[in-house]
Amino acid sequence: MPGHFEPLPGGGAAVALDDVEVSIIRSLAVQLLELIGPGPGADAPDDPLAELFADGPSEPPADPVLRRLFPDAYIDPEKSPDSVEEAEERRAHSAEFRRYTENDLRAGKRESALAVIRALDALAPVDAGGAVLKLTPPESRQWLGALNDLRLAIGARLDITDEDDSDLLFRLPDEDPRKPMVMAYLWLGGLQETLVTTLMP
């Protein structure tokens, strides 16, 4: 179990984490929460109807991490539009889609990150410097979403756009200042992969 998730009888997953691993995941999840923000109406009285009908932003975020987490729906950076009119049409569709979906997407990502923090805060050490995290199937899915978001965020900071980029990361010298972030990216990828396996029927 050390270093990877294993299925639990009856569903769910478990992984052994040491104190350092718990601290790293928790710190990254907190940073992700801070980046995503508190959400609409955070400083206002709770009004479920107002929040339900609140429009989201229509422009993509300025931060490259948030752009990776909330990409444009109708704009493919790999494919240039055939005309100025097509480019304008794609931008208009993307803005409209973002306006009606981004608030919900942010809320979902926020909830997944909070689920990670709560699960880690509830861990009881079983031996010196370590604990076993046990997740139900719904918690496993939230963790999967959060791990994916954390890897996307780190990948954006490292400017990783495809698998070829991540292969180059294995060869970074130890003195490279990106090395700790790279190690976290690769480690989270291993956790994510083994968690996916536990959720397969």
Give the predicted TM-score (pTM) of the model: 0.83
Question: pLDDT of the chain along its 201 residues, tens only?
Answer: 457 999 999 889 999 999 999 999 999 999 999 999 876 544 444 555 555 556 777 787 889 999 899 988 776 666 776 677 877 877 787 888 888 888 899 999 999 999 999 999 999 776 667 899 999 999 999 999 999 999 999 999 988 876 656 667 777 888 888 888 988 998 999 999 999 999 887
How far is 37 from 160, CA to CA, in rounded Å? 24
Phi and psi torsions of 47, nearest 5°: -140, 95
pLDDT reported for residue 102? 86
Sign of CA dihedral 56, 76, 63, 68: positive
How far is 151 from 157, CA to CA, in rounded Å? 10
Residue with tokens 């995290």: 133
pLDDT reported for residue 124? 79
